[in-house]
Structures are given as structure tokens and as C-alpha cells.
């Protein structure tokens, strides 16, 4: 019987030399394990207290939308630039392997006051910090981060001023 831990595959030197890429997509090949993971990710208290989920492009959408269904919470998205129509709020940040930026639709953000952030993996914390700084600029409350994997040596959670729940710490 496979366990969740067995389904996090490591690809050395992807997308750049020196990066051990942790691929979570194998989880989706095992619906029972995926379902169990979503139940666990949906059961924490800070999610219960949040008005909405914000999930991060692109693997965050997979887990975020399943958690949104399971927890009956609305979900909005943070996307890579040029993907969202209408007025957006955008910020650039440093990634473990390069630079990126994320945008959120102003009209979506306006509807809710408190959020839980969902992503597949926490590495340096730059991505989540980018989302949280856009939210904080708009005076929104962030109750926590829920993520499948945390790379604990990179100390991403130390950058964040809200609780982190990761299902697997590597």
C-alpha cells in the first residue's frame, strides 16, 4: 500500500542545476490518498475561521479547489502575470530558482476579509509572502497557510507571521 510520503517524487536538477524538485502530482494518481489528504487539509481550525481560501498558481489550484469544496469555502486565486482580466493587484518576488510575480483580481479580493492561503509546497516562503503582502496592503487578514510539502531547511515559515500547516515536512 502506497503512503502519501511515497508519492512526493524528487527530480534532481529541475528546473535548474542544484534544485531538488519535489513533484506532488503523483498524489493525483491515487484518489483515495488524495481524498484523505484533502480531508486532513480541510480540517484545521484556521481554515474554519477564514471567510475564503486564496490558492496560488498553478499546483495550489488543485489542492485549493478540492479544499474549497470539502470545506464549503469560497476560493479566489493568485495567478502569474497576464492571466487575469480586469483590474489586478500585482507584486514581484524572488523564487528559489528565479523571479516571478503574482496578481489577484481586485474585485475578487474585495468580497472577503479573512483568508487562508493554499499552495502545494513551501520552500523559501517568497511566493506565500508575495500573496500575503498584497493581502496585507488591502488590510485583509491572513489566518494561515496550508501546504502539502514544506522544505524545512529553507526556513520559509520564519518569513511568515501566521501559522503554517504542512502535511509533509522534508
21 binds ligand AMP (CB under 6 A): yes
Q: Which residues of 92-110 are buried (b: 16+ CB within 10 A; e: fewer)?
A: ebeebeeebebbbbeebbe
Closest of 35, 45, 32, 22 to residue 119, by C-alpha: 22
For residues 147 and 165, is the Cβ–Cβ distance under 8 A?
yes
Instruction: Write phi, then psi, for 151 (nearest 5 degrees).
Output: -90, 95
- Site for ligand AMP (CB under 6 A): which residue of 126, 160, 162, 167? 126
Q: Does 120 bind ligand AMP (CB under 6 A)?
A: yes
Which class for 19: exposed (0-12), middle (13-18), buried (19 or more C-beta within 10 A)? middle
Q: Does 144 bind ligand AMP (CB under 6 A)?
A: no
156 binds ligand AMP (CB under 6 A): yes
The number of angstroms, rounded, from the C-alpha of 121 to the middle of its chain's C-alpha atoms is 7
Contact flags string 44-63 toward ligand AMP, x per CB under 6 A? ------------x--x----
* Cell of residue 82, nine digits: 497576464
Supply the minimum distance, in Å, between the C-beta of residue 23 and ligand AMP: 7
CB of 157 to ligand AMP, least distance (A): 10
Does 69 interact with ligand AMP (rule: CB under 6 A)? no
Answer for which of 34, 119, 146, 166 binds ligand AMP (CB under 6 A) is 119
- CB-wise, 18 or 86, nearer to ligand AMP? 18
Nearest to 149 by CA among 125, 119, 115, 117: 119
| Nearest residue (CB) to ligand AMP, 30 versus 93 | 93
95 contacts ligand AMP (rule: CB under 6 A): yes
The residue ranges that bind ligand AMP (CB under 6 A) are 19-22, 56, 59, 95-96, 119-127, 156
Amino acid at each position: 500500500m502506497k503512503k502519501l510520503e511515497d508519492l512526493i517524487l524528487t527530480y534532481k536538477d529541475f528546473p535548474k542545476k542544484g534544485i531538488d524538485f519535489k513533484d506532488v502530482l503523483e498524489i493525483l494518481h491515487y484518489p483515495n490518498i488524495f481524498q484523505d489528504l484533502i480531508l486532513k487539509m480541510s480540517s484545521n481550525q484556521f481554515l474554519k475561521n477564514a471567510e475564503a481560501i486564496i490558492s496560488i498558481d498553478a499546483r495550489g489550484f488543485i489542492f485549493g479547489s478540492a479544499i474549497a469544496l470539502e470545506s464549503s469555502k469560497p476560493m479566489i486565486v493568485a495567478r502569474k502575470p497576464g492571466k487575469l482580466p480586469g483590474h489586478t493587484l500585482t507584486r514581484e518576488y524572488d523564487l528559489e530558482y528565479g523571479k516571478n510575480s503574482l496578481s489577484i483580481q481586485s474585485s475578487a479580493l474585495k468580497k472577503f476579509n479573512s483568508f487562508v492561503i493554499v499552495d502545494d509546497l513551501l520552500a523559501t516562503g517568497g511566493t506565500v509572502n508575495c500573496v500575503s503582502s498584497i493581502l496585507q496592503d488591502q488590510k485583509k487578514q491572513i489566518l494561515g497557510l496550508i501546504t502539502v510539502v514544506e522544505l524545512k531547511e529553507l526556513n520559509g515559515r520564519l518569513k511568515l507571521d501566521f501559522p503554517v500547516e504542512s502535511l509533509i515536512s522534508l
